[in-house]
Chain A
Amino acid sequence: MFAFVVNRMLQAIGVMLVVALVAFVISTYVGDPINNMVGQEATHEDRAQLRKDLGLDDPAPVQFGRFVADALQGNFGISYQMKRPVSRLIVERLPATLELVFVAAVIALALGVIGGVYTGLRRNAVSSRAIMTISLVGVSLPTFVIGILLIYLFAVLPKGCIHGFYLFGQLLFTCAELAAISLPSFGRGDTVDIGSWQSGLFTADGWRHLILPGITLSLFNLTLILRLVRSEMMEVLRTDYIKFARARGLTNRAVHFGHALKNTLVPVITIAGIQIGTLIAFSTITETVFQWPGMGLLFIQSVQFADVPIMTAYLVVAALIFVVINFTVDVLYAAIDPRLRADRAATGRA
């Protein structure tokens, strides 16, 4: 087990170094940040001086070495655009992304598992087929289209009401009621400061702001988990031990939830873990659409500005998140599943 852990750690360090190198190389091709940092009246000499001050004239290996040495101390430099330390910027923006991902993950997991179990158990019912078809929407529509659509349906339309909302000639909601239940289209709303963590989970306004972006971000994973659980469920229900459990006379509930579901969930957890890493690192599009002040939005803004310190720091942090999650999942797997451990011992030298 120890050798396994050490092995994984070395691999992790190797991955981090490669990512840092790639981030660094890319940053030399993104364009000239100097132009964005000075006004249009600055002279050639000013720009050359600024370039020298920032160390942009040094050879690439020197700049990379400096970058790695600083990064190991948690110092990612100072943002060209905002002139604030990058590490502090990332720490400020991380809570927003993590809360959004938390809500999206909960929605995806809860609805995905419930939906998957339901459609797995009642394979041919009309409702199941309907759910499967609608879930296709989650994977086929791009995230920004879903986001804009939800904004239009829940933020713009209700407020544009003139006569009230009628269905089959009956007045269901007055305009005032619609406006009251409409949802906000951007931002985090009122947040509470808990130390340096700005949280939107403790105010009603914060929760209202979390709904639309949370749904948008969760849709893809929801569909993924739903289909995964469904197919795993159908697979597990065909196995021998389920047949024996039924033969023994166990109730449906005991069979489905006591035995089948537990075995279904193992691969789902692996996938969900990786997907959460993806959500954290790549919530960029949802954050841009909903102006959610998280790391993804910070990253997009830094690309447009050629703010190299933020870009490289973000890529390194994203890689770190993935590496940590995958490392945890691997170790957990080996800890949970004795077969993995036994195999390694068996194939080891001796």
Chain B
Amino acid sequence: MTDTSHDLRRVLAPKTVVVVGSKRADAYMWLRNYSTFTAGPVYSVQIDPNEIPGIEAMGVKNYTSLMDVPGDVDYVMCAVPRPVAPRVIADCAKKGVGGVALFTSGFAETGEEEGIRLQEQVLQIAREGHLTLIGPNCMGLYNRKLGIRQSTDQGHGEAGDVGFISQSGTHAINFGLVGEVHGVRVSTSISIGNAIVLDVPDYLDYLTDDADTRVIAMYIEGVKDGPRFVRSLRRAASMKPVVVWKGGVTDAGARATASHTGSLATSSAVFRAIVRQCGAIAADSLEDTIDVVKALLHAKPATGRGMGLMAMTGGQSVVITDAFVNAGLDVPRLSAASYEQLASFFNIIGGSYQNPLDMGGTIGFGGSAETLRKLFEILDADPNVDAIAREMASGFLARMWQSNPASLDGLLDTLAAHKQRSAKPFVAILQPQHVEDVVAMARKRIQERELAVFASFERGARALRRAVDYHRFRAGLD
């Protein structure tokens, strides 16, 4: 049984940090990860005299015992060799620290006897000492605002708004890194490792109540206490969007079963159903998770499925329609009022406005801001349109954006002004095409304006569809 009385705020938003076992061999990784910690002191605990000078050279005060560290300690990162781990964990309990993340690995995940025995020992000590323990075999905490990181590549400073829970240290780090490139910033991310004391529901409950966290995402491979997971997930999803990326979807073997139902109920099929039943959102990969989070964060909420689509050429008009229809969204005819307005100025030589608006010839590839604004206004006012997606024609326009960045800024300002004015979700599709470098620059500028931008029609459509599904669930539709 998991002890649910842990006060996670103290350990996940700490004011004092201690690294136990920092060493030259890993280039003082944890002290460097925490070098950006701003809320209070970072201390080191290391008994090896060969290691201490290197630690002190970083300007970090070292102690030879956790018990000697002055004052309260909120967060301990423990990176000692595994035979020493039980002793450090006992010290953490004795000291009454806020919590400890155990980076040390070689426990039950090895499947070998010694590892299992040590894990049991650590668990006993933690339980008896009512110790909040993250891990073992984990990368601990990433708190962007406080500058506590899992990797020195991760950003720090301004608070992010996405909480992340990960059974894998790699995916925890990558969600922080790749998310940031896509305008998705972490509030609090926890690499939970073997999760012997605190488990997914503990962190989920914390992030559900965390005011900085607007959206929660997680990477999980398995669940220990199914009913408890379901309760936490239901509660979380009733308060904010939760995206669940489940690793290991292929079943190793068929379930031993006597019934027909049993042979069909693969664990992944059941898990996906439970995610939906709880009102959470299933994702398939890191990119997919980030896409959905992006749509939830940066596009406005909507419960309708009618798309107003904008593309610059005929070919793109066709395939943007395919992508959104395939994702389960609708591309309806516009209202009579919209058609009447469009007929008065839309250039139908090499274009059309049935929906999608094939508008290259109307706004021109130089991009008339005035005309574009007018098109946005028509779609925004159209009762058949619930959300708008726009193809950016990067393949044709990137060179111009490169030589004349003001042209890009002008275009993006028009998009941003539309987003601000409109209550309908807006997504931009910016394909890398043959101009990946320019597109990377353009994407950064789009994201600075907090617009939801996707690398393909399919990704944008699938992400928006699931955001709409979530809002429909919350609204009691479907």
Specify whether A and B are partners.
no
Chain A positions near chain B (C-beta within 8 angstroms): none
Chain B positions near chain A (C-beta within 8 angstroms): none
